[in-house]
Amino acid sequence: MTYEVEDAPNGAITKHANVAKCPDCSSQDIVHDPQRGELICSGCGVVLSESLIDHRPGMRAFTPEEKARRTSNGLPLTQMLPDFGLSTTVSHRVNGSGISAERHSRLERIMRWNSRSSWRRRNFTIAFTEVRRLAEKLSLPGHIRETSAIYYRKAYKNDLLRGHSIKAMVAACIFAACKTCGFPVTLDSVLNSSEEEERVIKRCYVLLVKTLDLKPKRQNLAEIVPRFTSILGLSIQVEQKAKKILAIAAEKLRLSGKDPKGYVAAAIYLAAKLLGEQRSQQTVASALGITEVTLRSRFREIAKFVESH
């Protein structure tokens, strides 16, 4: 059964007209207590409903004190904190005034016990700190960070960290989040940002995908073109031309199974050459982290199709 909360002064207990009568004593004197979010029969004291949602608008606040007193919500839940942001901080002072020595000692004891967190909490603290570090380095948006944290929690729950380091699993979770959400990040970028070995991160990624049954999306090569044209100092015209070249190559060639950066490098190199902003093969290959041999090989593959267009 759904009840609506009537408009009333903040914190005032009011009569409620949406409930006909109490099922226990048949009394029609039903009141709403907004502080507890309950509907109560004033005749027998039975709680008819609890945890009601208050749809009334919040009270306006003009000073910090009024804002603190009238606030009815806190920070949003986040996967990036071990406790989702639901922890409580115990203060030494209450309303600006000192407290007794006995209560001060008791609060210190409570905080000391609270600080002795479990291994699970310490593990998540280390992991989510690493997620934030890698995300800052790779310029990842908030939803990728949250998804990475979700994958790490699932990895911990499925005992996937046995025999693997926390940082290696975090790197794998970040790459998996980028792949499943379709965010343009290459594996080399993640590997270069992480302190762990390449083979360890790859092993964690494969284990993560298999265990969690993830469905990585096929990467759109055109999405990573702007990043490298910016590094090479090329114009927007070269960027657009490189995207068109990749679209043509995708129709004629099977691009999967090979390093995508090879085709991106070839498309950028060819586009810059056609538009008079040529860069050397060594410069382009170095910017994309591939060899000049790979660049020349991919260039020969796509050049013949572009010439026909």
Q: For the chain, state the CA radius of gyration.
A: 30
Q: What does DSSP assign to residue 15?
A: E
Residue 129 lies in a domain: yes
Taken as a whole, the chain contains a residue count of: 309
Q: Which distant-in-sequence residues (6+ apart) come within 8 Å of 187 by Cβ? A: 175, 202
Residue 187 lies in a domain: yes
Residue 88 lies in a domain: no
**What's the whole-number mean pLDDT along residues 48-76?**
62
User: How would DSSP label each residue in 36-89?
Assistant: TTEEEETTT--EEE-S----SPPPP--SHHHHHHH----PPP-TTSTTTT---P
Q: Shortest CA distance to 153 belongs to which of 135, 178, 131, 138?
A: 131
Final residue belonging to a domain, choices 20, 45, 74: 74
Give yes or no for residue 224 having a pLDDT over 50: yes
Residue 15 lies in a domain: yes
Question: Can you name the residues that pair with 40 across neighbouring β-strands?
Answer: 31, 47
Higher pLDDT, 277 or 56: 277
Query: Are residues 125 and 171 both part of a single domain?
Result: yes
Residue 87 lies in a domain: no
**What's the whole-number mean pLDDT along residues 58-87?**
64
pLDDT in tens, 170-211: 999 999 999 898 887 888 889 989 989 999 999 999 999 999
Residue 178 lies in a domain: yes
CATH number reported for the structural domain that contains residue 300 in this entry: 1.10.472.10
Pick the range with the lowest mean pLDDT from 3-7, 116-120, 220-224.
3-7
| Structural domain count of the chain | 3
**190 contacts 174 by C-beta, under 8 angstroms:** yes
Q: What percent of the chain has pLDDT over 90?
A: 26
Final residue belonging to a domain, choices 193, 212, 231: 212
Residue 241 lies in a domain: yes
Look-up of token digits 């990467």: 219
Higher pLDDT, 309 or 140: 140
The domain in which residue 17 lies consists of: 1-74
In three-state secondary structure terms, 91 is coil
Final residue belonging to a domain, choices 212, 236, 270: 212
